[in-house]
Amino acid sequence: MGRLRFSVLATDGRARLGRLGTRRGSVDTPAFMPVGTQGTVKSLLPGEVAGLGARVILGNTYHLMIRPGVETVARLGGLHRFMGWQGPILTDSGGFQVFSLAARCEVSEEGVSFRSHLDGARLSLTPERAVEAQQMLGSDLMMMLDHCPPAGAPRDFVEQALLRDARWAARALAARDRRGAALLGIVQGGAYPELRARSVELLAELDFDGYAIGGLSVGEPKETMMAVLQDTVPQLPPGGPVYLMGVGAPEDLVACVGLGVDLFDCVMPTRMARNGTLLTKRGRLNLRNARFKQDPQPIEEDCDCPACLSYSRAYLRHLFMARELLAYRLATLHNLHYILGLMSGLRRAIGQGQYQAFARDFFAARQGNPDNE
């Protein structure tokens, strides 16, 4: 097969049920990709992640270049063998770290120069090096290097960044070898509709296998994010998957699927789990709250994840308060079970022409829960 195949199996308004074909298997969409930044979804075995329903996970090029080094991973058989994951892997290019580590990097026409967050050592990341590193890791879905401006950045700054991104995009495509994996372009442009349209126009001139929308969920109001997606998704070239980077709140997943997004990733479900916040149909549950100290109920009554089948809220709260490692494992299992189950429900609803009813019931169930504020 080619580098990437994407088929739309059903639509319901702008929501779509699809199938993404990669060289390591297919992924039904809309899909959520658990984040394994450093070659692991924190606290879980790969088999557990797959058992929860994940078919594709995300790794991070910048972090793997810093430690243990992509050359080391390549010598040990590539990222799949290194971490024991059999399915597809999408790797970020390191572009998000231009945003998250802005104080530790310098951007130029050539690329980005980082000072390592670990020891201050210099790391140079160019469009070519980002592709080379991802090919060494053995990624199935690679991302171009881009510059993600912060929310509220001045228009001129955002425009110059997206014009540079377009030049970087051409260099990234030229650097991919003939056996290289699928490569996705990243649309930027901040909250400026005309700049988003310009970014789409420039990237559409190039031979990408699909498109991601970046630069959202970086501090802008939620209404702004939705307005950008409302305008941008229909402008993307047809035929490939639409990937919204860094978005994973359940409310956002449901709403953005309705706008035509196919792929998501975010650290939110696993990070929240490690901090004691559990996801349920009614919304968020902060198990550190004293009211759960003697609560015999499971996190959610009708959930069949390992945490809910065997343990009470009181016990889980005890584990968190005692800082026991089992707390992080059980909470992570639950949150990913919830998110991946939510995506499965969305796929089923779209296939049945019931997306609107699904979304209506989803949001109605969350009303009145103060932990959702």
pLDDT digits (tens, 9 = 90+) for 169-210: 999 999 999 888 999 999 999 999 999 999 999 999 998 999
| Residues classed as catalytic | 92, 265
- Reduce the DSSP state of residue 11 to 3 states and report it: strand
- Reduce the DSSP state of residue 19 to 3 states and report it: strand
The pLDDT-based confidence of 298 (bands split at 50, 70, 90) is very high
Average pLDDT over residues 335-359: 98
Q: Which of 11, 22, 157 is nearest to 90 (CA)?
A: 22
Is residue 1 over pLDDT 50? no
Apex 152 CA angle, 146 and 158, nearest 5: 40
Average pLDDT over residues 202-229: 97
The pLDDT-based confidence of 371 (bands split at 50, 70, 90) is low
264/31 Cα distance (integer angstroms): 6
- pLDDT at residue number 372: 62
Is residue 252 over pLDDT 90? yes
Q: What is the CATH number of domain 5-265?
A: 3.20.20.105
* Strand 141-143 to 182-187 pairing: parallel
- pLDDT at residue number 373: 45
Q: Where in the chain is the domain with CATH 3.20.20.105?
A: 5-265
Is residue 312 over pLDDT 50? yes
CB 245 within 8 A of CB 277: no
